[in-house]
């Protein structure tokens, strides 16, 4: 089997096998690139309201807090603490509630996993540190192989010796320029 045929087979089969991973990592990568605009893992909602709390903190309990917020939210307080004399911070299954004791102001923040993005970002972050790490490493090496074999598929003026060389060079210059300007 000659080099060109082996090159095409390797390029084709690895591309087919990892097509789903390329799409997943690409979508996740776009989401993570815009993390300053939105949270790709969680939908965070905030709600403000006021309530009447007893001035004597010894009269505050989980039960009394749950009764006080009943009708304002479906959240149930599981535990709480006092970060300072004027604040009470409570924890619910889906978030936190901050009470300002002297004004009765309440800030409820809930976080819900964002469907689809939370799962694909989990794969992209690779926090599992299991067999997935090995699979991700194989995927990364395969992307290198797919790229290198792709360079040699086309012959002639559109191949790596002419047009391909120009495009590869331009494609390398852009990240180098970014490194120079972003990290200097």
Q: What is the 3-state secondary structure (H, E, C) of 80-138?
A: EEEEECCEEEEEECCEEEEEECCCCEEEEEEEEECCCHHHHHHHHHCCCCCHHHHHHHH
Asked, for residue 58, whether it belongs to a domain, the answer is: yes
Does residue 32 sit within a domain? no
The total number of structural domains that make up the chain = 2
In terms of domains, do 98 and 58 share one? yes
Burial classification of residue 172, based on how many CB atoms lie within 10 Å of its CB (0-12 exposed, 13-18 middle, 19 or more buried): exposed
Residues found in the chain: 184
Residue 106 domain-assigned (yes or no): yes
- CB–CB of 75/97 below 8 Å? yes
Q: Is 69 in contact with 77 (CB distance < 8 Å)? A: yes
This model's pTM is above 0.85: no
Tell me which residue range forms the domain holding 106: 43-113
63 and 102 together in one domain: yes
118 in any annotated domain: no
Intervals of the chain under pLDDT 70: none
104/143 same-domain check: no
For residues 149 and 7, the answer to whether their CB atoms sit within 8 Å is yes
pLDDT given for residue 115 in this prediction:
95
Q: How far apart are CA 47 and CA 72, in angstroms?
A: 9
For position 57, what pLDDT does the model report? 84
Last residue of a domain, one of 113, 146, 171: 113
Residue 37 lies inside a defined structural domain of this protein:
no
pLDDT value of position 154: 92
Structural tokens at position 115 = 């469907």
Residue 76 and residue 52 share a domain: yes
């Amino acid at each position: 089997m000659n080099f060109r045929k082996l090159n095409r087979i390797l390029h084709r089969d690895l591309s087919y096998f990892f097509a789903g991973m390329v799409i997943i990592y690409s979508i996740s990568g776009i989401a993570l690139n815009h993390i300053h605009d939105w949270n790709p893992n969680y939908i965070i909602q905030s709600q403000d309201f006021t309530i009447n709390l007893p001035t004597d903190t010894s009269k505050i309990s989980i039960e009394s807090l749950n009764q006080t917020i009943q009708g304002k939210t479906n959240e149930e307080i599981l535990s709480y603490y006092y970060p300072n004399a004027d604040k009470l911070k409570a924890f619910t299954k889906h978030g936190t509630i901050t009470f300002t004791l002297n004004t009765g102001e309440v800030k409820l923040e809930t976080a819900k996993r964002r469907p689809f993005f939370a799962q694909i970002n989990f794969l992209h972050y690779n926090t599992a540190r299991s067999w997935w790490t090995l699979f991700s490493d194989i995927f990364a090496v395969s992307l290198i192989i797919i790229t290198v074999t792709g360079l040699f598929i086309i012959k002639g003026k559109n191949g790596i010796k002419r047009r391909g060389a120009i495009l590869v060079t331009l494609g390398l210059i852009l990240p180098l320029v970014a490194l120079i300007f972003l990290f200097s």
